[in-house]
Structure 1
Amino acid sequence: MSQSTLTRELALRIGLAARALPDTPPKLFISVLRACTGTVLNDQSLAELGKAQFQQALNNFGIVADADSIRDSLNILRNAEANSPKADTSQVIESASSIRIAIGSDDPQLISGHFGSCRQFLVYQIAADDARLIDVRSIDSDAQRQHDDKNVYRAELIADCRVLYIASIGGPAAAKIIKYGIHPVKADQGEAITQIIKQLQIVLAHAPPPWLAKSMGIQPVQRVCFEQES
């Protein structure tokens, strides 16, 4: 069986990913990865490595690790930091009718993940004619563990946002973020983030529903005028 040759950078990344897991020698870890990817072990095959597949392979080789360690190891393998979206803070959207939203997702392009387990929130400022990623807020595992309530920690992380798009969120967690004035909106797993933004911009350009108008700071009289003009 032919085996792919590892580049120096990839070998280093695999070594760091192995160190993120307890008591996992690099040689054993490579066996885990080859069980996942077959004969081709390269940047592309690791970028496409799924969490469930990775978890199952670790179990098959007797490697026991907590969820945070597994996530950290997988992010290193995927080179997630290098591929993460970059926020644009060069200019601020000055439109009074803009709104700040958060998107909970482990993927910079597609909706992915649960509110209680996603590793980051993408924060956008959205207006009818403009949209900008202004911040990427990663979950600090240590800070989350030290907090009395994981869901409250996450809600506080996006407390300046008025809408949260997420693929999945439980009732108790949704109730907590609503207390922070954040409106949860369920999105389809795998839905394109650009499509969500376009749909929201269409709503902003016409007549936003009362809850959204209120979040944007539009008073009742202003809402009537806004609707008449559309």
Structure 2
Amino acid sequence: MTLQRRLQLVGNNSDTQWIDTALKVAFATGDMSHVDQHFGAARSFAIYAVNQQHACLVSACEFGELDMDGNEDKLAEKIAALDGCIAVYSQAVGASAIGQLKARGIQPVKVSPGAVISELVESLQEELRQGPGSWLAKAIASTLPADPNRFDVMENEGWEE
């Protein structure tokens, strides 16, 4: 099934400038409050911008009712809707979807049924404040531009082409 609706929240004041540099994370949800969906059959995603101090809903994507039928055609549209996200939280995710998500730099995160989105966001913020774990540190690094001097360090260490 294709994307039916997408709500994009847009801010234009200085209070929302932090969103441009925030991490984007998605939650597979039916009610916009809980992670209550399997990735492949998710009716919708709530996408949040998150940094150490702030978090807010920036987008909601609705797909409608989907079956967990093994049909992978629906995955491409869902993964495309998560463009710019570093992670997607869901109750479950299939092996094929995991491979496709990771290929796009999106970490699938499995959570307990009915996990509360606001609590997951707070937990993510706390991890950012305390020092990110391995997957989160890797995701943060992937959002940074490549260091133009990265090869100079290698050259100084004696590396050659």
Same fold (TM over 0.5): yes
Alpha-carbon distance, 1:211 to partner: 2.5
- CA-to-aligned-CA distance 1:164-219 (integer Å, 9 cap, x gap): 10111111111111111100000111111111001000000111023212212369
Give the whole-Å Cα distance in 2 for the aligned partners of 1:101 and 1:165. 8
- The 3-state SS of whatever aligns with 1:169 is coil
Rounded to whole Å, the distance in 1 between the matches of 2:64 and 2:82 is 13
Query: 1: CA distance between counterparts of 2:32 and 2:130?
Result: 28
Query: Matched residues in 1 for 2:85 and 2:58: separation?
Result: 12
1:89 aligns with 2:20: no
Residue of structure 2 equivalent to 1:99: 23
Superposed counterparts of 1:90-169, under 5 Å: 90=11, 91-94=16-19, 96=21, 98-139=22-63, 149-169=73-93
Aligned-pair CA distance for 1:94: 4.8
Q: More relative contact order in 1 or in 2 (CA 8 Å, sep 6+)?
A: 2
Rate the CA distance shift 1:111–1:94 in 2: closer, same or farther, 3 A: closer
- Check the 8 A contact 2:91/2:112 in 1, yes or no: yes
1:184 partnered with 2:108:
yes
| Structure 2 unmatched runs, 5+ | 66-71, 146-161
Q: Given the superposition, is the C-alpha separation of residues 94 and 105 from structure 1 closer, same or farther in structure 2, using an over 3 Å criterion?
A: closer
What stretches of structure 1 of length at least 5 have no aligned partner? 1-67, 69-80, 142-147, 220-230
> How far apart are the structure 2 equivalents of 1:150 and 1:92?
34
Shift of 1:88: 4.1
Aligned residues: 130
Secondary structure of the residue that 2:83 maps to in structure 1?
coil
Decide which of 158, 178, 200 is 2:124's aligned counterpart: 200
CA distance in 1, matches of 2:101, 2:17: 25
Question: How far apart are 1:149 and its partner, in Å?
Answer: 2.0
Percent identity between the two aligned chains: 24
CA distance in structure 1 between the partners assigned to 2:117 and 2:31 by the alignment? 9
Q: TM-score, normalised by structure 2?
A: 0.71
Give the residue type in structure 1 aligned to 2:63: I
Structure number with bigger Rg: 1
2:50–2:121 Cα contact (<8 Å) kept: yes
- What is the RMSD computed on CA atoms of the aligned residues? 2.6
Runs of 4+ residues deviating >4 angstroms: none
Secondary structure of the structure 1 residue equivalent to 2:79? helix
C-alpha separation between the residues in 1 aligned to 2:140 and 2:134?
10
Greater share of residues in strand: 2
Looking at structure 1, the residues matched to 48 and 109 of structure 2 have their Cα atoms a distance apart, in angstroms, of 15
